[in-house]
Amino acid sequence: MTANVEFEAVDTNSEIGLLSVPRHVAIIMDGNGRWALRRGLPRTEGHRRGVKTLREAVEHAQKRGVSYLTLFSFSSENWARPQQEVSFLLALLRRFVCDDIKDLIRNNVKVRVIGSRENLDKSMLTLLDDAERETAHCTGLVLVIAFNYGARDEFVRAARQLAERVEAGELRAAEIGEDDVSTCLDTRDIPDPDLIVRTGGEQRLSNFLLWQAAYAEFYFAPTPWPEFGPDAFDDALLAFSNRERRYGGVSSDAAGT
Ligand code: FPP
List, in order, residues 6 or more apart from 52 with CB less than 8 Å away. 226
Query: What distance in Å separates the CA atoms of residue 132 and residue 129, rounded to the nearest whole number?
Result: 5
Note the pLDDT of residue 1.
Answer: 40
Cβ–ligand 1 contact at 24 (below 6 Å): no
pLDDT under 70: residue ranges of the chain: 1-10, 252-257
Burial class (CB in 10 A: 0-12, 13-18, 19+), 42: middle
Query: What distance in Å separates the CA atoms of residue 31 and residue 223, rounded to the nearest whole number?
Result: 8
Q: Is 218 helix (H, G, I), strand (E, B) or coil?
A: strand
Active-site position among 78, 108, 130, 235: 78
The DSSP annotation for 11-66 comes to HHHHHTT-----SEEEEE---HHHHHHHTT--HHHHHHHHHHHHHHHHHHHHHHT-
Query: What distance in Å separates the CA atoms of residue 134 and residue 143, rounded to the nearest whole number?
Result: 13
Note the pLDDT of residue 9.
Answer: 57
The question of whether 78 is a catalytic residue gets the answer yes
- Tell me the CA distances in angstroms from 10 to 1, 83, 217, 237, one per residue in order: 13, 45, 22, 13
List, in order, residues 6 or more apart from 7 with CB less than 8 Å away. none
Q: How many residues does the chain have?
A: 257
Q: Is 244 helix (H, G, I), strand (E, B) or coil?
A: coil
List, in order, residues 6 or more apart from 172 with CB less than 8 Å away. 166
Cβ–ligand 1 contact at 31 (below 6 Å): yes
Ligand 1 centre distance from Cα of residue 159 (Å):
29
150, containing H or E segment? none
Note the pLDDT of residue 44.
Answer: 97
Spatial contact of 71 and 146, defined as CB atoms under 8 Å apart: yes
Note the pLDDT of residue 2.
Answer: 43
Minimal-distance CA residue to ligand 1 atom 18: 33
- Residue 146 pairs in a beta bridge with 72, 114
Note the pLDDT of residue 257.
Answer: 56
Note the pLDDT of residue 244.
Answer: 85
Residues 215-239 have pLDDT tens digits of: 999 999 999 999 999 999 999 999 9
Note the pLDDT of residue 10.
Answer: 56
Q: Which atom of ligand 1 is nearest to the CA of 224?
A: 23
Ligand 1 centre distance from Cα of residue 212 (Å):
21
The question of whether 207 is a catalytic residue gets the answer no
Strands (E) across 37-178 are located at 68-75, 110-114, 142-149
